Amino acid sequence: MGRDPNPERPAALSDWATVFGTPPPPYLSVSFMQRAAGYQVQCKKSGGLPASTRRALQQIATGDEPKSAIAPTLSPGAHLVREWNGRTYQVHVVEGGFEMDGKTWRSLSAIAKHITGATWSGPRFFGLNAKVKSSQ
């Protein structure tokens, strides 16, 4: 009677089925199944990839060029200026958030909502989203 060449295979098959809810495709290696199942557990626990990254990956998978912009990284000390309804708003990037009019805010979107009274993307409101060129 022959032995299974990899004694970890039954556990990997079981883990895959538990995590993904279906049996794995045939001929996957034990190493791949272990890594994929581990990654899936991590994604479920921590929320996975950002929505913009998932959209870009979906666009790539369907053969389209990604249209999402990569959000800029702002360092403490940066200064943003936005004029809205005749008033100029100045925002300073500080450690852990943003400062405007002596108040500290956790996000630019919260500041944009405070200024406009409507829900806005903070980076978009402050003009930080890069224009993405379309090849079509």
H helix count then E strand count, the chain: 5, 4
pLDDT for the residue numbered 9: 93
Q: What are the domain boundaries of the chain?
A: 9-61, 79-125
Q: Is the pLDDT of residue 132 over 70?
A: no
pLDDT for the residue numbered 136: 45
pTM, 2 dp: 0.46
One-letter amino acid for residue 36 of the chain: A
For residue range 53-75, list pLDDT tens digits in order. 888 888 888 888 776 555 567 88
Q: Of the candidates 2, 24, 22, 26, which has an alpha carbon nearest to the alpha carbon of residue 12?
A: 24
Give kind and range of the element (H or E) at residue 63: none
pLDDT for the residue numbered 6: 84
One-letter amino acid for residue 55 of the chain: R
pLDDT for the residue numbered 54: 82
3-state secondary structure of 87: strand
For residue range 17-56, list pLDDT tens digits in order. 999 999 999 889 999 999 999 989 988 888 877 777 888 8
Q: Which residue has the higher pLDDT, 73 or 6?
A: 6
pLDDT for the residue numbered 114: 94
